Amino acid sequence: MKLSHKLIMVSAAALMSVSPLLNTTQNVNAATASTKKTTTKKTSSKKTTTKKSASTKKTTSTKKSTSKKTTKKAASSKTTTSKKTTSNTIKLTHNAYVYDKNGKRLKTYMGSAKYTTIAKGVTVNSNGTKTIKGVLYYSLGGGAYIKAANVDGKVATSSSTKKTSSKNTSSNKPSTDESEDSTSTKLIHNAYVYDVNGKRIKKYEGKSKLTKGTEIDTYGTVNIKGKKYYQLDKEGTAFVKAGNVDRPTTITLKKNAYIYNSEGKTKKKLVKKGKTVKTTEAKYIGTKLYYKIGDDQFVKAANVGKVKGEELDPINEPDGAATVEVPDTEDVNSTKVITKGVVSLYDIKGQKYANRIFDAGVSQQVSELRYIATSVNSTPQLFYKLASGRGYLKADEVTVDGKILNAVNTQEQAKADVTVATTADKAKLTQSINEAASVKASEIYKLSSSTAKAAYDKAITDGAIVNNNASATIGQVNEAESAITSAKAKLNGAKIAVANLNSLTPDEVTAIVRAVANANNVPESAIQFSNNNTTLSIVTNGYTQSLNINDYAVQNSAINR
């Protein structure tokens, strides 16, 4: 179905404007009303009658079903919505990209690249809906589609649609507020996917979990065992906890609570009883659950009373197992160890960490095998280093799965590592610490993710403690230097290259929004452009923080527009 003649004549400027066009729905409704008063010839054509062409075009009544074909379909179908034979208008509630039949962005539409984004408020004709790769779209005709999430829901419910199965009769399914239309949103935390019974799905579309920042299409909310979830598909087979979607969560302290860092250490600074604060994640530190309330600031969940908003899914597991991220795909070159029984975690000096234990059968990814000696005269033992860098497991207390690792040192080197480091031994570590100021002032640091920056900051802080410790061993110094080098290598911030800062394309705007959200650890929905995409700001909790767009984007004359 082609766009109506009126809409085809809309100028490029009107399409790209965020101001809505004059609503043409009134004319369509008027035409529909007038056709009810006259006897019209029934046909399978999907042409729409308007006042202007009522005498020359054929139409089908949306209320009558006297034809045999229609009666038969209505009698045998179990669908919730039958296929209509008229085209309907739909109104956009958001700017919408235009896609092809495979769900890929069109580079040109209606003969121009300018029309590949249709502005909020524009009314267009649609001849039905189609699901592409699990996402619901409205068809504009000619192989062009827009996401249903960008359409006014009230208008959309009267649009022509393809048959959809009414598989809602099962009493086992949770109560739901969903509709056939999907809504696009962002994840603000890594999120596991659950089934209709609230049990975790091991693999969803090939992944063990959905990562923070992922754009998902949801089909309303459901309550499963008293908890709120967002539905990921029309069939109702996959869900994510509502707390992982872009919604604020606050906690109220029922007791005075100390603030801890990510290592579970505290300087005994208090958050007083009755105080309500915003939290962004739930996380295990050792065996205890904490809520994050600020940059490297946590309070124990045991001290929290009321939780307002959505429940947060812990980003890890207790006993330190959570400190290792589960990869989305299996790495054939990785090495994992499985604990034979309840085992302790050790440091580089071969000393046990307090309260850091693993139960039997726990699988952990490891990065190296090394000899560790507790003293110059002791016999070095083999340990596996956790890929997270959080500690070591004794080799004889685990079984190995995957790539076989060779020891990175010898027993003699391990004995040398327990000797106290000299100033010369600390030279490289000292240099890395002294470089921290220039690294933090760099673009690569400032525009990296908050996670990457926090990892680098922690490596520098930990390295400084070792460097200032007169009793630090060579092994501790080498480990601290290695941690800084590794964290620095993971800093990958960069400005977005654009063709013209005064005339950003939709793709450039999207890239800048993603970069700003990533660097400031806020959801993309908090990033706002104004003044024809020349003014950038973060809006959270009613406060607006103005940003300099030049801090996040750079004009590159070499780009070919």
Give the CATH number for residue 399: 2.30.30
pLDDT at 2: 42
Q: Which residue has the higher pLDDT, 112 or 176?
A: 112
Residue 527 lies in a domain: yes
Measured over the CA atoms of residue 205, residue 526, residue 184 and residue 235, the dihedral's sign is positive
Bridge-partner residues for 365, per DSSP? Answer: 336
Per-residue pLDDT reduced to its tens digit, 38-88: 333 333 334 433 333 333 333 333 333 333 343 333 333 333 333 333 457
Lookup result for tokens 């999207």: 510
pLDDT at 557: 60
The highest-confidence range among 17-26, 116-125, 190-199, 231-240, by mean pLDDT, is 190-199
* Same domain for 214 and 199: yes
Residue 161 lies in a domain: no
Which of 122-131, 257-266, 308-317, 498-507 is predicted least confidently?
A: 308-317
Per-residue pLDDT reduced to its tens digit, 135-162: 788 888 778 888 887 776 443 333 333 3
* Same domain for 123 and 60: yes
Residue 162 lies in a domain: no
The letter for the amino acid at 219 is Y
Per-residue pLDDT reduced to its tens digit, 450-496: 788 888 998 999 899 999 999 999 999 999 999 999 899 999 889 99
Confidence band (pLDDT; 50, 70, 90) for 257?
A: very high
Write down the pTM of the prediction: 0.42
Tokens of 501: 């800062």
- Does residue 441 register a pLDDT over 80? yes
Residue 325 lies in a domain: no
- Does residue 175 register a pLDDT over 90? no
Contact at 8 Å (CB) between 477 and 469?
A: no
CATH number, domain of 462, equals 1.20.5.420
pLDDT at 247: 62
For the residues 267-296, what does the mean pLDDT come to? 86
Q: How many domains does one find in the chain? A: 6
Dist. CA 458–CA 285, nearest whole Å: 15
* Same domain for 229 and 86: no
What is the percent of the chain with per-residue pLDDT over 70, rounded to a whole number?
71
For the residues 407-423, what does the mean pLDDT come to? 93
* Same domain for 18 and 147: yes
- Does residue 514 register a pLDDT over 80? yes
Contact at 8 Å (CB) between 132 and 103?
A: yes
Residue 561 lies in a domain: no
Confidence band (pLDDT; 50, 70, 90) for 393?
A: very high
Which of 372-381, 402-411, 527-536 is predicted least confidently?
A: 527-536
Confidence band (pLDDT; 50, 70, 90) for 217?
A: confident
- Does residue 502 register a pLDDT over 70? yes
* Same domain for 143 and 210: no
* Same domain for 534 and 465: no
- Does residue 266 register a pLDDT over 80? yes
* Contacts for 56 with CB less than 8 Å, ≥ 6 apart: none
Confidence band (pLDDT; 50, 70, 90) for 542?
A: low
Dist. CA 282–CA 367, nearest whole Å: 27
Q: What is the DSSP string of 504-543?
A: --HHHHHHHHHHHHHHHT--GGGEEEETTTTEEEEEETTE
Which of 108-112, 201-205, 475-479, 500-504 is predicted least confidently?
A: 108-112
pLDDT at 109: 78
* Same domain for 341 and 481: no
* Same domain for 228 and 121: no
* Same domain for 189 and 51: no
Bridge-partner residues for 83, per DSSP? Answer: none
- The torsion angles phi and psi of 258, rounded to 5 degrees, stand at -75, 150
Q: Which residue has the higher pLDDT, 35 or 233?
A: 233
Q: How many CB atoms lie within 10 A of CB 80?
A: 13
pLDDT at 428: 94
Q: How far is CA 366 from the centre of its chain?
A: 26
Residue 166 lies in a domain: no
* Same domain for 402 and 357: yes
CATH number, domain of 538, equals 3.10.20.890
- Does residue 16 register a pLDDT over 50? no
Considering 219, 244, 269, which residue would you say is the last residue of a domain?
244
pLDDT at 185: 75
For the residues 509-534, what does the mean pLDDT come to? 84
Range of the domain at 389: 330-417
Q: Which residue has the higher pLDDT, 298 or 126?
A: 298
Considering 200, 219, 244, which residue would you say is the last residue of a domain?
244
Q: Which residue has the higher pLDDT, 406 or 296?
A: 406
pLDDT at 131: 80
pLDDT at 430: 95
Considering 191, 209, 244, which residue would you say is the last residue of a domain?
244
pLDDT at 171: 39
pLDDT at 477: 94
Q: Strands, E, within 288-403: which ranges? A: 288-294, 297-300, 304-308, 335-339, 343-346, 352-358, 363-372, 381-386, 392-394, 398-402
Dist. CA 279–CA 388, nearest whole Å: 24
* Same domain for 136 and 42: yes
pLDDT at 25: 37
* Same domain for 150 and 31: yes
Dist. CA 405–CA 337, nearest whole Å: 11
Residue 285 lies in a domain: yes
- Does residue 332 register a pLDDT over 80? no
Residue 358 lies in a domain: yes
pLDDT at 64: 38
pLDDT at 403: 87
Q: Which residue has the higher pLDDT, 356 or 368?
A: 368
Contact at 8 Å (CB) between 548 and 511?
A: no
